[in-house]
Amino acid sequence: MTRLSPPAPPMHNRPATPPPRPAGRVIPAMLITISLAYLTLFLFLPLITVFTEALRKGFATYAAAYSDPAALAAIRLTLLVAAIAVPLNLVFGLCAAWAIAKFEFRGKRLLITLIDIPLAVSPVISGMIYVLLYGGNSLLGARLLDADIQIIFAVPGIVLATIFVTLPFVARETIPLMEAQGIEEEQAAMTLGAGPFQTFFRVTLPNVKWAVLYGVILCNARAMGEFGAVSVVSGHIRGKTNTLPLHVEILYNEYNFVAAFAMASLLTLLALMTLLLKSIVEHRSRHAAPDPVTRIPTLVTATPEPQT
Partner 1 sequence: MPITHDKPCPHRGRQLSWLAGILIVALAGCTPNGRDGNSHTTLLNVSYDPTRELYREFNEAFIQYWQQTTGQQIAIDMSHGGAGKQARAIIDGLEADVATLALAFDIDAIAQKTQKLPADWQQRLPHNSTPYTSIIVFLVRKGNPKGINDWDDLLKPEIQIITPNPKTSGGARWNYLAAWAFALRQHGSEEAARKFVTELFHKVPVLDSGARGSTNTFVQHGIGDVLLAWENEAFLALKELGPDALEIVTPSLSILAEPPVTILDANTEKHGTTRLATEYLQYLFSPTGQRLAARHFYRPVYPEHADPSDLQRFPDIELVTINDTFGGWQKAQATHFSDGGVFDQIFQEQP
DSSP string over 51-120: HHHHTTTHHHHHHHGGG-HHHHHHHHHHHHHHHHHHHHHHHHHHHHHHHHHH---TTHHHHHHHHHHHHH
Consecutive H or E run containing 139: helix 139-146
To partner 1, the closest distance from the beta carbon of 205 in angstroms equals 7
Return the biggest CA–CA distance within the chain. Answer: 96
To partner 1, the closest distance from the beta carbon of 194 in angstroms equals 8
Distance (Å, rounded) from C-alpha 31 to C-alpha 33? 5
Inter-axis angle of helices 155-166 and 69-102, to 10 degrees? Answer: 40
How deeply is 35 buried, as exposed, middle or buried, from its count of CB atoms within 10 A (0-12, 13-18, 19+)?
exposed
Which amino acid type is present at position 247? H
Residues 6+ apart with CB under 8 A from 212: 90, 93, 94, 170, 173, 174, 205
Closer Cβ to partner 1, 223 or 300, answer by number: 223
To partner 1, the closest distance from the beta carbon of 67 in angstroms equals 16
To partner 1, the closest distance from the beta carbon of 114 in angstroms equals 25
Distance (Å, rounded) from C-alpha 100 to C-alpha 104? 7
Closer Cβ to partner 1, 59 or 255, answer by number: 255
Closer Cβ to partner 1, 92 or 116, answer by number: 92
Closer Cβ to partner 1, 102 or 240, answer by number: 240
Residues that bind partner 1 (CB under 8 A): 73, 76-77, 79-80, 82-84, 86-87, 90, 131, 134-137, 141, 145, 148, 150, 152-153, 155, 192-194, 201-202, 205-206, 209, 212-213, 216, 235-240, 250, 252-255
To partner 1, the closest distance from the beta carbon of 12 in angstroms equals 53
To partner 1, the closest distance from the beta carbon of 220 in angstroms equals 9
Closer Cβ to partner 1, 111 or 145, answer by number: 145
Inter-axis angle of helices 69-102 and 108-120, to 10 degrees? Answer: 160
Closer Cβ to partner 1, 78 or 268, answer by number: 78
